[in-house]
Structure 1
């Protein structure tokens, strides 16, 4: 839910692909073995074809402290994938004649600024202009505390408006928190009950529900961040994201949901087409995902240390889902590997060898670096024998040494190359090359 400079919302899965009825699951197992052995990824994946699950794999721990291994039924917070569920529930309201997409939100929030101009449809499309409350610098100072409906509305109102309604699109969790409250006002039930009544119970999704306090005894996973080892992440209170990011699930349940949604078993075909209609990169609770010459629909998610993705590709009738409670790798590369295996395309098992440096070796890199090319400062510190980087206004992340003066952060495809004698550092990411100088 919190924005991060180095984490991407959209995934471009690039390859030229053909579907294979049978794929090499043993090679895919070896791929995940490599990630697990080198502490690159903890989580689970599932793939279905023609609504039948053809592959699942779980690696790592649901609870690192107590060495509880993850399994196929371990439940993860899925973050913003929750928005797809919420959008589908809104359309259930539309189909029942209870919600009008063109209704302005002043009906539900009489005192909301510009509420007489903002429609339900604009909330769904991220076209309301309402500021994203998770972008605020103080968000991480209060997100772990319970909030009432009134408190969340007040927080969203305080954030103000970033642009005139329907003038453009910009991702905002605020939109889907408001949609969650609209659903509760419309159906006169808690979001958790609406979700159960219209989606999880009819589809038999036994491991999918609105979350609460994480309980490992119920096979719910904690989340972690790699900082030389797995560090426990704080836990957002579910009263904050609601249907914008509060659902927990498993990859197996997510592909079942995906298969049902795109088969017209959750909302009507007409509603699904509206959800899939893209305006400025956004559908209603859906994004487009390219894989070679194929186009899928789905959503990504991120909350605390959890990351996730689900996609459905009509070509081959394939659904794929991944949930993670700790990643030290580029999740997009994992998605490409899984889909490449499914569509019988080549992919490589990653070579993950690194070099070892002592704490003293790292001293030459420490300091604050700034660049004339981008308005960003990066502070380099250390924790024991691990080098830590933190960009302005962003969370810190650990760096792995790959060769002399060269470090990487796989999760975002970042490479940092230092020249200690010249007091410079070069950042490389996504084809961009930026030079920084130590202050």
Structure 2
């Protein structure tokens, strides 16, 4: 009798727990995933708006076919300007791909060394970054340095940094996340320091070096090193960025990261993957230190850029809505996966 009662109580608890779990499931994500797959990319973008995304841009470059451009939603919600594919966008951490390519070029030119340490390049930081005398440039490129990520500092979001030095300060004088080359930890601090190192080595801003060595040879005229490079007209072409629950447009927030059109990112990504962005000997160096795809996230901006070998296609997706709980990011991932499935289905027809 007691045994049966215990089983009954356990079943009630289990059912209650299941009900509570289902109640808190982000149904917007489940619904976005299980909906019937549209036949076209444009239909998928329009459907995405039903999930409360403000605006979305997609660029598709499939080998042997003309590039395809898609957009839906708002470019500027307040001014009621519809989204359009040629808009400029904050590409956030996709910037790291350009910085890594620039580094590979400088290593091949023997102006940088993958084996040289952080302490050698920045002696002033030797006592402010743990293991600086053991952390190599290669480890920083691979996110294997153990240097804390400045965005993880508890004060970063409470007291946002006003300049690069304040940003770096959020990563200084802290214990290492792990011993150099003994783990992996994605850290924006790594690439901020690498960008500063390029400045130091070439004697001028790394954005200029990237423009001269990467953008100009590829004919990319709609890629910019930072918000400071945009004219007033180009700022109008910059897609607005929104954060759920905040009545503000984040497009004028200067993060110091790159901006570009989806087409420019797509052309760069194609060149990165087919090797045409490199001179002789540079691609081997790059392949030893970094990846060939990336995503990006800033307040108001989400970006995805990847080459898919099975269909020989580059797909770039920009979304201008973010939130605190990460639903918008997960939603954007689902939309990207569904777009990719549509492209694969169409390529098999």
Same fold (TM over 0.5): yes
Structure 1 residue aligned with 2:308: 313
Where structure 2 has 5 or more consecutive residues not aligned to the other structure, the ranges are: 1-24, 26-32, 323-327
Aligned length: 300
1:217 to 233, 238, 245: 233
Q: Does 1:139 align with 2:156?
A: yes
2-structure distance, mates of 1:156, 1:92: 27
2-structure distance, mates of 1:122, 1:38: 40
Alignment of 1:189-208 (within 5 A): 189-208=204-223
Where structure 1 has 5 or more consecutive residues not aligned to the other structure, the ranges are: 1-5, 7-13, 15-23, 240-245, 278-282, 287-296, 347-439
For the 8 Å contact 2:45–2:56, the answer to whether it is kept is no
> Counterpart of 1:157 in 2: which secondary structure?
coil
2-structure distance, mates of 1:260, 1:63: 31
Structure 1 residue aligned with 2:295: 300
2-structure distance, mates of 1:51, 1:139: 46
CA-based RMSD of the aligned residues comes to: 2.9
Structure 1 residue aligned with 2:80: 67
2-structure distance, mates of 1:51, 1:127: 39
Structure 2 residue aligned with 1:375: none
Taking structure 1 as the reference length, what is the TM-score of the superposition? Answer: 0.62
For the 8 Å contact 2:153–2:170, the answer to whether it is kept is no
Pick which of 68-77 and 124-133 moved more. 68-77
> Counterpart of 1:116 in 2: which secondary structure?
coil
Structure 2 residue aligned with 1:342: 343
> Counterpart of 2:55 in 1: which secondary structure?
strand
Q: 1:298 to 1:53 in 2, by over 3 A?
A: farther
Q: Does 1:156 align with 2:171?
A: yes
Structure 2 residue aligned with 1:99: 112
> Counterpart of 2:134 in 1: which secondary structure?
coil
Alignment of 1:162-177 (within 5 A): 162-177=177-192
Structure 1 residue aligned with 2:244: 226
Structure 2 residue aligned with 1:263: 274
> Counterpart of 1:221 in 2: which secondary structure?
coil
For the 8 Å contact 1:143–1:237, the answer to whether it is kept is no
Q: 1:51 to 1:231 in 2, by over 3 A?
A: farther
> Counterpart of 1:97 in 2: which secondary structure?
coil
For the 8 Å contact 1:35–1:41, the answer to whether it is kept is no
1:125 to 114, 126, 142: 142
1:181 to 196, 199, 204: 196
Q: 1:268 to 1:206 in 2, by over 3 A?
A: same
Higher helix share: 2
1:108 to 121, 129, 146: 121
Alignment of 1:355-370 (within 5 A): none
For the 8 Å contact 2:44–2:339, the answer to whether it is kept is no
Pick which of 24-33 and 255-264 moved more. 24-33
Quote the offset at 1:137 in angstroms: 1.9
1-structure distance, mates of 2:141, 2:281: 16
